Structure 1
Amino acid sequence: MKTVNGIVDLQLEPQIPIEQIQIKFNRPAASRYGLTVGKLSEIIETALNGRVVSQVLDKQQTFDLAVWLKPDARQNLDTIRNLLVDTPNGQKIPLAQVATIENGTGPNTINRENVSRLIVVSANANGRDLRSIVNEIRDKVNQQVHPPSGYYIQYAGQFEAEERATQNILISSLIAFVAITVIMYLSVKSIPSTAMIMINLPLALVGGVFSVALTGGVISIASLVGFITLFGVATRNGLLLVDNYNTKFAEEMPLKEVLIKGSMERLNAILMTAFTSALGLAPLVVESGPGKEILQPLSIVVLGGLFTSTALTLMVLPALYAKFGKFLLPKRTTSVVEDGKVPKAVFE
C-alpha cells in the first residue's frame, strides 16, 4: 500500500507484545482420553478466571460464590501443569498430558468482528478519489498477497459506505425512472408522447458525462445525485413541449405552426429555468472551501447537463414530433366540399 499514489497516514493497528501464559492443546492426546478442546477450555477458565457456582446470603445481602485457583497459583506454571482433569472414564490426569503450558508473549488486545478475529490496516486518501485508490490497492494485493486458508481481506470504512450508498442510489434511480414514466403517461395519456418525453433523459446525461470527464472522470455519490436532478429537469422540459404540441395539434393547427408556436411559447420557461439554475450553480463549481467534495461534483454534473439538455431538447423534440407527431393523436381527414365552402379538418 505504500507504493500506491495518494495513500497517506498508513498504519497497522498497534499490537504491543505482553508476557502471558500460553496453553496449547494437544488434540490427538486429548482425543485418546475422550476429552474435547471445549471441555478443557472450561476447566482452565474455571481455574484461572473463576466460575460462579452458587450464592451466599450474609446479613440480608447476596454474594456470588466463585471457584478458582489462588492468585499465586494462577501465576505458577507447575500448578497449572498439574491441574487435574476429569476424563469420561473416571480417571484424573494432569493438564500437562493433554496440553503444553509455557511462558510466552502475545498481543495486548484481540479484536473481533462477526466472531472472527480482526486486525486493521488503515490509511487516508489525498489528491485522488477514494475509489481509484482502493481499486489499485485491491489489484496489488491480489497479485502479491496470498492469505492462508481461513484468512480473508475485507475493504471497509468510508469505501464500504460509499459502495453501499452507490447501490442504494442506483436502485432509487431505477424506481424514480419508473415512477416518472408512469406520471408522464398519466399526464399526456399517450404512450408515444410518453416515449418522446423519456427520450429526452439520455440527452440530459450527455452534458453531465462530458462535465465529469473534463473534470477528472470521477463519478461519486454527489455526481449520481446530480444525474438524478438532471432527470427531473429534462423530464419537465420535455413535458412542457410535448403537452403544448398536443394541445395545439388538437386545435386543428397545421403541424408546422404547431411546432413553431408551441416551441416559442415554452422557450421562455425552459430558458429561464436553465439560466437561473446555472447562475446558482456556477459559484459552487469554482468553490474551493470546505464542503466542495459534495457540492462541487453535484454542481458540475447539473451545470453541464443543463446546457446540453436545454439545447438538445429544443432541437430534438420538435424534430421527433415533426416525424412522429401524426401518431400521437387521431389522424386528421378532410370532409367533402359542400356548397363551395372551404373544408374544415375533422377527426376520424
Structure 2
Amino acid sequence: FEFVEEVERDLHKELGEQVEINFNVSTTTGSSPNTLTFRLTDSDEQRLHSSVDKVQQELAKEQVITKVSTDLDITVKEVQIEVDREKAKDYGFVPAQIAQTVNQMTKGQLTTQIMAEDGAVLPVYTGFGQVFNDSIESLKSMQLRSPAGLFVKLEDIATVSVQEGPVSIRRSDQAAAVAFFVEYETKESLGGISAKVDKALEKADLPSETQVVFSGDRELYDSAINDMLLAVALAIVLVYIVMAAQFESFKYPFVIMFTVPLMIIGVAIAMFATNTLIGVTSVIGVLVLVGIVVNNGIVLVDYINQQKAKGMATYNAILLATQDRLRPILMTALTTILGLLPLALGIGEGTEMNQPMGIVVIGGLVTSTLLTLYIVPIIYSLMDKETRKMR
C-alpha cells in the first residue's frame, strides 16, 4: 500500500492532473485497502440526505482522511419521466398505468414462449423496436391511449428529461441507506481511524432516527478483538484450573498467575519500540504467552515445594530455588525467544501478517522471565505463613 502511494505520487508529478490514476489493490480479507466503510439508514430520505451532508462535512475536517465518497456521488445519466398528477387525472390516467405503458412501448411485451430444440424455453417479446428509444423527442411524442379512448402525447401529461441518477438504490432493513467509503493515509491504523470517524459522527449530531452501521474491516475488527480478548480471559481461567488440579491447592497457582501481568510490561515495550499496532495476530501472541510465561513460575514454585517437603525452611527454599532454577528457566525462555526471532524480524516471504505475534511473544517472554525471578519469590513469601511476617 505504501508502494502504491509512492508510485501514484510520482506519476502525478510527471503527468500532472491531465490523467486519472487508479490502482486495483485489495487486502487479505478482500476489502479495499485503507478504506473504512459504513452506512447511514433512515426511513425518511430527505432527512437521510441531510445527515449525509453533515457527516461528509465533519469527515472532511480530518487531515488523515484523503477521500470521502458515498453512493450519492456515483451517478449515471438516465431518462427521468415525472408525471403531472393533475394533468394525468384530467385524462383519466394514473401514474402506475403510464409507467406500465411506457415500459411496454420501449421494451416490448412478453407475448409468448417457444421451446428450443435443446429444451430451453425462450421468451418472445413484441414491441415497437427502437422507435421510441432513439431520442428524447421520440419519447415525448409517444401517444398513450386514455380510458376514454383519446390518444395523448406523453409530454402533455409528464416532463421527460435526462438527469443524473444513482447507479444503485441501497436499502437496509427496509429503510433507505447511503454507504460511505472513507479512504485514509497508510500511516493511520484501523483503530485510529475508527476513533476519528466515531468522533466525527458524534460531532455531526445525527437525528435519533438515523442509524449508523459499520461494515467491512471495521466490523471484522470489532468482532475479532472482542472474541480474542474473551479467549485470553478464558485461557487464564483454564490455566489456573489446570494448575489448581496439579498442585492440589488454590494458593500456589495464584502465585504463579502473577507472571501473566509481568508479560504485559514486555508486550507494551516491544510494540512501542517497534511501532507495532494492536491487531488480531498480536492478540494471538498474548494468548500464546498466557500458556508460556506460567512455565517459569511453575518450575520455581514446584521446586520450592519440593525443598519444603524435604524439611527445609521456606525462606531458605525460596533462595535455593531462585539459584538452582535460574539456568533451566533461562534455557527454556531463550529457546522460545531465539526460535521466534526470524518471525519477529520479518525474515521470509509473507511474514508481515504474523510478525506482530513474534514481537509480542518475545517482548512478553523477556520481561516475564527476568521479573519472575524477583516477583514470584516475593509473592510466594507473602502467601506462606512462615515468611509472611518476616522483615
TM-score calculated relative to the size of structure 2: 0.63
The equivalent of 2:189 in structure 1 is: 129
Kindly tell me: are residues 106 and 324 of structure 1, through their superposed partners in 2, closer, same or farther at Cα, counting changes over 3 Å?
A: same
The equivalent of 1:102 in structure 2 is: 160
* Structure 1 residue 166 corresponds to structure 2 residue 166: no
Pairs within 5 Å for 1:30-49: 45-49=103-107
Kindly tell me: are residues 40 and 304 of structure 1, through their superposed partners in 2, closer, same or farther at Cα, counting changes over 3 Å?
A: farther
Kindly tell me: are residues 59 and 287 of structure 1, through their superposed partners in 2, closer, same or farther at Cα, counting changes over 3 Å?
A: closer
The equivalent of 2:249 in structure 1 is: 190
User: Which range moves more in the overlay, 98-107 or 252-261?
Assistant: 98-107
Q: Is the Cα contact below 8 Å between 2:65 and 2:185 reproduced in 1?
A: yes
Structure 2 residue runs without a partner (length 5+): 1-58, 387-391
Q: Which has the higher contact order (CA 8 A, sep 6+)?
A: 2
How many Å apart are 1:110 and its aligned residue?
Answer: 1.8
How many Å apart are 1:132 and its aligned residue?
Answer: 1.3
Pairs within 5 Å for 1:212-251: 212-216=271-275, 218-251=277-310
Pairs within 5 Å for 1:311-322: 311-322=370-381
Spell out, residue by residue over 1:7-43, the C-alpha distance to the aligned partner (whole angstroms, 9 max, x if none). Answer: 45x364773542x321346789999999786x87666
The equivalent of 2:356 in structure 1 is: 297
Kindly tell me: are residues 25 and 197 of structure 1, through their superposed partners in 2, closer, same or farther at Cα, counting changes over 3 Å?
A: farther
How many Å apart are 1:173 and its aligned residue?
Answer: 2.0
The equivalent of 2:320 in structure 1 is: 261
How many Å apart are 1:314 and its aligned residue?
Answer: 1.4
TM-score calculated relative to the size of structure 1: 0.70
How many Å apart are 1:120 and its aligned residue?
Answer: 4.9
Spell out, residue by residue over 1:88-122, the C-alpha distance to the aligned partner (whole angstroms, 9 max, x if none). Answer: xx999979699844112224732647575555535
| Cα distance between partner residues in 1 of 2:206 and 2:61 | 20
The equivalent of 1:340 in structure 2 is: none
| Cα distance between partner residues in 2 of 1:102 and 1:140 | 40
* Structure 1 residue 55 corresponds to structure 2 residue 109: no
Where 1:193 maps in the other structure, the secondary structure is helix
Please tell me whether Structure 1 or Structure 2 has the larger radius of gyration of its CA atoms. Answer: 1
Kindly tell me: are residues 300 and 171 of structure 1, through their superposed partners in 2, closer, same or farther at Cα, counting changes over 3 Å?
A: same
- Choose which of 197, 200, 210 in structure 2 pairs with 1:140: 200
Where 1:294 maps in the other structure, the secondary structure is coil
| Cα distance between partner residues in 1 of 2:150 and 2:212 | 44
How many Å apart are 1:50 and its aligned residue?
Answer: 5.0
How many Å apart are 1:257 and its aligned residue?
Answer: 3.5
- Choose which of 313, 317, 325 in structure 1 pairs with 2:384: 325
How many Å apart are 1:130 and its aligned residue?
Answer: 2.8
How many Å apart are 1:271 and its aligned residue?
Answer: 0.9
CA RMSD of aligned residues (A): 4.4
Q: Is the Cα contact below 8 Å between 2:60 and 2:68 reproduced in 1?
A: no
The equivalent of 1:307 in structure 2 is: 366
Structure 1 residue runs without a partner (length 5+): 328-348
The equivalent of 1:21 in structure 2 is: 79
Kindly tell me: are residues 157 and 59 of structure 1, through their superposed partners in 2, closer, same or farther at Cα, counting changes over 3 Å?
A: closer
Kindly tell me: are residues 306 and 29 of structure 1, through their superposed partners in 2, closer, same or farther at Cα, counting changes over 3 Å?
A: farther
Identity across aligned pairs (percent)? 23
What letter matches 1:253 in structure 2?
Answer: M
Where 1:190 maps in the other structure, the secondary structure is coil
* Structure 1 residue 205 corresponds to structure 2 residue 260: no
Kindly tell me: are residues 309 and 56 of structure 1, through their superposed partners in 2, closer, same or farther at Cα, counting changes over 3 Å?
A: same
How many Å apart are 1:141 and its aligned residue?
Answer: 5.0
How many Å apart are 1:208 and its aligned residue?
Answer: 1.4
Q: Is the Cα contact below 8 Å between 1:237 and 1:270 reproduced in 2?
A: yes
Q: Is the Cα contact below 8 Å between 1:84 and 1:94 reproduced in 2?
A: yes
Spell out, residue by residue over 1:130-184, the C-alpha distance to the aligned partner (whole angstroms, 9 max, x if none). Answer: 32133224433543x5778987665544344333322231232233223222222
Where 1:253 maps in the other structure, the secondary structure is coil
Kindly tell me: are residues 54 and 152 of structure 1, through their superposed partners in 2, closer, same or farther at Cα, counting changes over 3 Å?
A: farther
